[in-house]
Structure 1
């Protein structure tokens, strides 16, 4: 069972760009809550509290208990708009969650014990994380805050695919249902020296060509 995370919001009637600007000047964030059997509702959140919450990974991948005008409803963050260069959240979109209906959400990956693995201990081996998050499908109660990948046994030259992930009970990867070609690499352990040699090869090939051109000029 995932940890419960609470946020607070209040309803708002005024809409439009002007109303949103006024909210931001008052240190609030305009937002909308939609989905389920209820109509979309415009709301506002305190910017400072929400900004602090947004620094946590769970804010983006967990079911949130939103206290809205005295009532609590479960929501999932679906979109966040930020200011181009200021530390300001401009707008938020939340989707209501039906506890009896499966949902799709992106969940971060946590990589464990990479330094202890055979690949991680080898100097000329580069371990790359091809994905940092995956999309899962599950009931809201089964939604994990993250998925752990234990790399303690990662061998030199090994590749960890989506199908190798150990998923919590009730959680699926929709991507795997689309065919074998969608079973993409998540982690790759490869020789870093190979890339260096390949990158240097074209430059080495240019030297003889330059010498030939000089001989022709004579």
Structure 2
């Protein structure tokens, strides 16, 4: 199951662009915690703590305990991060507060197992990823780190759907009207198929090898050099 990550924050008193700019000048990242039918809480975070979590990947599926100094600890999901267009550093972060018993909408990454033993991939097939993540409704305390699909028996032309996932962990997909596609095993590309076919062809017979034609302007007569020397010699005697 997904882990709960604690992150420290301090409360902010004022909202608005001017207050947010002042927070950034002070070396912190402004943010907000909203949801659960309660008033929003304005916060500021240490950019080093925030960047550390963003670099882990999958941060939209992680549960956070936002510990607000001199305030309550809020259970929340990190829903949105705004980045500076030049430096690419975070400049604002939104957290969604979780209410007791509330199911949450998260994206869970998909991992593929036993690629090395897949008959389709060993035959030159290509794993075509339709969805790297699957969006589901889940209990906040039971969000899986990842979904797994076993490719051990996958052949070329196979379609791997939601039903091929080993364990759904009690989640419900947001796409609920069909058994949607997650990945396929596609045939080899034309170039790789031609290269494989060419590698199995026998070498051409010796009679099929032809010499290149002489370059334009080259002397074709084998005695051309001697003829030129004789002509020059006669001219010298004259």
**Which TM bucket (shorter chain)?**
0.7 to 0.9
SS of residue paired to 2:152: coil
Cα distance change on mapping 1:94 and 1:27 into 2, 3 Å: same
Larger Rg: 2
Instruction: Please report how far the alpha carbon of residue 58 of structure 1 lies from its aligned counterpart in structure 2 after TM superposition.
Output: 4.4
How many residues are treated as equivalent by the alignment? 192
The answer for unaligned runs of 5 or more in structure 1 is 198-218
Q: Quote the Cα distance in structure 2 between the aligned partners of 1:99 and 1:106.
A: 20
Moved more, 188-197 or 14-23: 188-197
Alignment RMSD, CA only? 2.1
Cα distance change on mapping 1:156 and 1:33 into 2, 3 Å: same
Structure with greater helix percent: 1
The alignment's TM-score, normalised by the length of structure 1, stands at 0.79
The answer for unaligned runs of 5 or more in structure 2 is 194-238
SS of residue paired to 2:38: coil
Following superposition of structure 1 onto structure 2, how do residues 37-116 of structure 1 map, counting pairs within 5 Å? 37-70=37-70, 71-116=72-117
Whether the aligned pair in 1 keeps the contact of 2:150 and 2:166 (CA below 8 Å) is: no
The alignment's TM-score, normalised by the length of structure 2, stands at 0.73
Q: Quote the Cα distance in structure 1 between the aligned partners of 2:192 and 2:119.
A: 21
Following superposition of structure 1 onto structure 2, how do residues 129-144 of structure 1 map, counting pairs within 5 Å? 129-144=129-144
Following superposition of structure 1 onto structure 2, how do residues 147-166 of structure 1 map, counting pairs within 5 Å? 147-166=147-166
Corresponding residue of 1:31: 31
Q: Quote the Cα distance in structure 2 between the aligned partners of 1:6 and 1:88.
A: 21
Instruction: Please report how far the alpha carbon of residue 194 of structure 1 lies from its aligned counterpart in structure 2 after TM superposition.
Output: 4.8
